[in-house]
Chain A
Amino acid sequence: MPQYPLNFGIEAVPFGMTRAKIVSFTAFKNAANNNILMPFPSRPPRNQFRKDEVKQKAKSDLQDTEESLRAKVAALQQELAVVKQEKAELENLLKQKEETRKLQLQEMQIEIDLNKLAHQVAEITQTDYFQQLQIEVESLRNADC
């Protein structure tokens, strides 16, 4: 294992660091000795960071999009529930109107059976009993006077 990190003096030292550290020969030599046998990195890690950054951003964007979509779905579901409620109410109203119409029709169908009525009345009035009753009523009315 190398004693020093591979990127010593290149990436690990930020720009503008004190000059004394950069020009330390011994350190440079040690680093050179240590690193000479190490394979040179094929790509600088900045790209890796960038990738990670992009991945992270993509992941974050995806998360945001998912959340936004979830919120939109929830809102749509709410709207759907309201529409369903309105639909149920309208159906109920329609049903009530239909029932009222049926009742009105039924009501209009309640007719007097005139033939039956004439028969029923005659059964009572065309009897001696009813003639007697009329006399009795007359008598009661006269008694009141």
Chain B
Amino acid sequence: MSKIIAIHSFRGGTGKSNLTANLAVAMALQENRVAIVDTDLQSPGIHALFGIDETITGKTLNDYLWNRSSIADTACDVTSHLAIDQGKVFLIPSSINADEIAKILSEGYNVSLLNSGFRRLIKELELDYLFIDTHPGLSRETLLSIAISDLLIVILRPDRQDFQGTAVTVNIARQLQVCKMMVIINKASSRMDFSALQQKVEKTYNVPVAGIFPLSEDMAQLGSSGLFCLQYPDHPFTQILQQVAEKASINY
């Protein structure tokens, strides 16, 4: 049965898009068909990790939301671009056009239409997993996207503001009856006691920690110019990512 996984963070800069893209590809490598929808329409960016832009994809999620295109036409098959043998990866990018972003900011969008678009994508592309890369914060559209997902993964950094914001997010998600939640801690200092950190976070939020990613010099070096898990398949970061993928696939 297909699943929708929403990946969210209360604040920007947590590495959400990067982890979403890498996690989706890690799950594709387990012979799954996955799609990533960039619902961060106000500040899109996940397409850059796949090395593509609108000139290659043609249609964007904005075209679907303004009834200019079918949802299937916005899906770009990036499997061959990634040069992976197993699974399938589709990307539904958002427009980077300034007018399109301004329209979203001023008018919002129809989440009901987006929801039916997800269902159609799952059916037409025969997906195992559909990943939603959300916009940070707690806007109406984001809360609705979170609420319709089967699994919510909240990403935070070991940072005072992130801790507090994540507590709010988890609380709101519970009130919206999101039953499956996991937390990923990103950009943790390698000098921290990860085990103690995990225990503390799990106790604080009563949510399992799927993985703790240390602040990576190699990731910074890559500079969003590619997918880390493909460029560094044996790196400890990739190994943690695979563990998270395992947990995400069984956490239902």
A131-145 vs B, CB cutoff 8 Å, 1 = contact: the mask equals: 001101101110110
Q: How far is the CB of A93 from chain B (nearest CB, A)?
A: 13
Query: What residues of chain A lie closer than 8 Å to B112, measured between beta carbons?
Result: 136, 139-140, 143
In the complex, the answer to whether A107 meets B192 with C-beta atoms within 8 Å is yes
Q: Which residue of A96, A100, A112, A143 is within 8 Å of B115 (Cβ)?
A: A143
- The total number of A-B Cβ pairs within 8 Å is 77
Q: Once bound together, how far apart are the Cα atoms of A89 and B143, in whole Å?
A: 52
**Majority-rule SS of A interface residues:** helix
In the complex, the answer to whether A144 meets B148 with C-beta atoms within 8 Å is yes
In the complex, the answer to whether A121 meets B168 with C-beta atoms within 8 Å is yes
**Majority-rule SS of B interface residues:** helix
A14-51 vs B, CB cutoff 8 Å, 1 = contact: the mask equals: 00000000000000000000000000000000000000
Q: Once bound together, how far apart are the Cα atoms of A116 and B171, in whole Å?
A: 13
B103-118 vs A, CB cutoff 8 Å, 1 = contact: the mask equals: 0000000011001100
Residues in B lying within 8 Å of A, measured CB to CB: 111-112, 115-116, 119, 138, 140, 143-144, 147-148, 158-160, 163-164, 167-168, 171-172, 175-177, 189, 191-193, 196-197, 200, 204
Residues in A lying within 8 Å of B, measured CB to CB: 96, 99-100, 103-104, 107-108, 110-113, 116-117, 120-121, 124-125, 129-130, 133-134, 136-137, 139-141, 143-144
What are 11 A-B contacts defined by CB distance under 8 Å? Answer: A100-B193, A103-B192, A104-B192, A107-B196, A110-B160, A117-B164, A117-B171, A124-B138, A125-B172, A133-B140, A134-B175
- 8 additional contacts, CB 8 Å, given A107-B200, A140-B148? A96-B191, A103-B191, A104-B192, A104-B193, A110-B159, A133-B176, A134-B176, A136-B112
